Structure 1
Amino acid sequence: MSSNFYSSMGGLPPQTELLSSKAVFTTAYAVIPRTVMTDIVTSVLPHWVGTRAWVLSRPMTGFSETFSQYIMEVQPGGGSDRPEPEQRAEGVLFVVDGEMTVDLDGAAHAMRSGSFAFLPAGARWTLWNKGTVAAKFHWVRKRFQEVEGLEPPPALFTHEDNHPISPMPDTEGRWGTTRFIDASDVRYDMHVNIVTLEPGAVIPFMETHVMEHGLYVLEGKAVYRLNQDWVEVEAGDFMWLRAFCPQACYAGGPGRFRYLLYKDVNRHMPLW
């Protein structure tokens, strides 16, 4: 199944552009549309060269608190030998454009559009763009929650082509999930999946649950119900949902609607 992931970040709007936007930040959710991911909101990170980042989410007290998500743009020859500054942070990388090489414990892994990597907390890794065009990827970071008596999760490198879409029950294949990590493996405390809805498919109920979400639209467009609001989203938009925010979706077409989904899983709720 071919993919056409959105990767046209950057630039600036013309002076003739209207100020109105679907950007919104509420107590239950935020929508960061692709139109605001311009050159003036990028970050430069320590120990990275030839690289800039758009920070889509970060832990915030009283909102989503478990993860941070970046869009990274690494120019040819750019990268880092010290990419992750936090010893307890685990990460997921998902490539949307270009190619790059991740070296983990001396083993090199070539990554291209559709490639996925899980990097355990404390892992020694580097990332460099040895190609001729910019590499663009999502980087989801989370503080790993250790469990006594449970071994830590191993690293994982794979590609979406290796993971058939698993259809949701009773949907006739119209709504499905690409799972890179075994859902029953409790060593992992985070999942990053791809959700795919065919034109006309719906999430037909208001999901309300403890998991926090980052949803980045990779392809297509849809109307999302977030808390009490209907929000139209398209490829390149990001939705940031705190725990228990009601959510549902209608994929209007004409093409399929796909998004990269983060959620925290497989752990007890901390009580202090």
Structure 2
Amino acid sequence: MGYPTDLLSNRSIVKHGKYALITPQGLVNNVIPGFENCSMSILGSPKMGASFVDYIVTMHKGGKNSQGFGYEGVETFVYCLEGKIKARAKGESFDLEEGGYLYCPPSEKMYLENLADGDSRCFLYKQKYRPLDGHEPHIVSGNANDNEGYDYEGMVNVNLKDLLPTDDLGFDMNFHILTFDPGASHGYIETHVQEHGAYLISGEGMYNLDNDWVPVKKGDYIFMGPYCLQACYAVGREKMSYVYSKDCNRDPLL
């Protein structure tokens, strides 16, 4: 909300290095070289305390990145929220509609183009890759709607979907979708070294972030830093779901 119809207010909270809730109402557009006819907002970044960068991108009609996204040593990931996007990497082409995604290893650039007559929207990510001797990541594409989920830590009312391989040490991160039935929750308040960047794709909830209870809903972005206490309850009448990143498969550096 804001001037001239109301007081200036915003639900967003930023506690650098710990956690952040960023709502869509306060987002500003950023100019990102290489992206044409796109409205882009930077969500999580090292300036906040994250080891990665997350973006929300609205690709208008004819929007594209013909120069490629990513560079040597940086892995990238895109998740299509709505519309239709053509993604290319290593000479392959992937048509991504709602739920579609593409991961590119650090040796490959990602090229994006809007195929819809109107806007398409996507959640975009990049991170420096941490190599591991004897292991290499590879291009992965799919659609979350086709992926089989499973009970999260044995709870039948919380569903987890993996978007990247979980048994391949070539990957130093993963993307997941966590979905809560109305009234469902985590089994306990988690405390761990991994950090997350999460984008809510449906529903509403109450999220415990470093022991602050914060209301969240569809369209919100959450950054959770290392060792940030975290858990949530789903509230409302529909399922609460979010797509999120997690670093994994590496021993912490000294």
What TM-score results when the alignment is normalised by the length of structure 2?
0.94
In structure 1, what is the equivalent of residue 32 of structure 2? 45
Counterpart secondary structure, 1:57: coil
CA distance in 2, matches of 1:200, 1:242: 26
Q: Does residue 36 in structure 1 map to residue 20 in structure 2?
A: no
Greater mean deviation of Cα atoms: 19-28 or 105-114: 19-28
CA distance in 2, matches of 1:185, 1:130: 32
Q: Does residue 212 in structure 1 map to residue 212 in structure 2?
A: no
In structure 2, what is the equivalent of residue 79 of structure 1? 64
CA distance in 1, matches of 2:244, 2:85: 22
Aligned equivalent of 1:244, options 197, 214, 227: 227
Identity of aligned residues (%): 25
Give the CA RMSD over aligned residues.
1.6
Q: Can you list the C-alpha shifts for 1:194-232, whole angstroms capped at 9, x where unaligned?
A: 100000101131100000111111100000111121100
Distance 1:33 1:125, change over 3 A: closer
1:31-180 → structure 2 map (5 Å cutoff): 31-37=21-27, 41-60=28-47, 63-64=49-50, 66-150=51-135, 152-171=136-155, 173-180=156-163
Name whichever structure is richer in strand by fraction.
Answer: 2
Q: Can you list the C-alpha shifts for 1:157-200, whole angstroms capped at 9, x where unaligned?
A: 100122122112331x2011111112222111111111000001
Aligned equivalent of 1:189, options 163, 172, 179: 172
In structure 2, what is the equivalent of residue 258 of structure 1? 241
Q: Can you list the C-alpha shifts for 1:18-50, whole angstroms capped at 9, x where unaligned?
A: 32222111242111112212xxx1112112211
CA distance in 1, matches of 2:248, 2:119: 33
In structure 2, what is the equivalent of residue 8 of structure 1? none
Q: Could you list the runs of 5+ residues in structure 2 that have no partner in the other structure?
A: none
Deviation at 1:59, TM superposition (A): 1.4
In structure 2, what is the equivalent of residue 7 of structure 1? none
Q: Does residue 199 in structure 1 map to residue 172 in structure 2?
A: no
In structure 1, what is the equivalent of residue 14 of structure 2? 25
Counterpart secondary structure, 1:205: coil
Counterpart secondary structure, 2:189: strand
Counterpart secondary structure, 1:44: coil
In structure 1, what is the equivalent of residue 4 of structure 2? 15
Counterpart code for 1:43: N
CA distance in 1, matches of 2:70, 2:140: 20
Greater mean deviation of Cα atoms: 181-190 or 232-241: 181-190
CA distance in 2, matches of 1:223, 1:100: 32
Q: Could you list the runs of 5+ residues in structure 1 that have no partner in the other structure?
A: 1-11
Greater mean deviation of Cα atoms: 24-33 or 201-210: 24-33
CA distance in 2, matches of 1:149, 1:184: 14
CA distance in 1, matches of 2:160, 2:115: 32
CA distance in 2, matches of 1:123, 1:86: 8
Check conservation: 1:103, 1:126, Cα contact below 8 A: yes
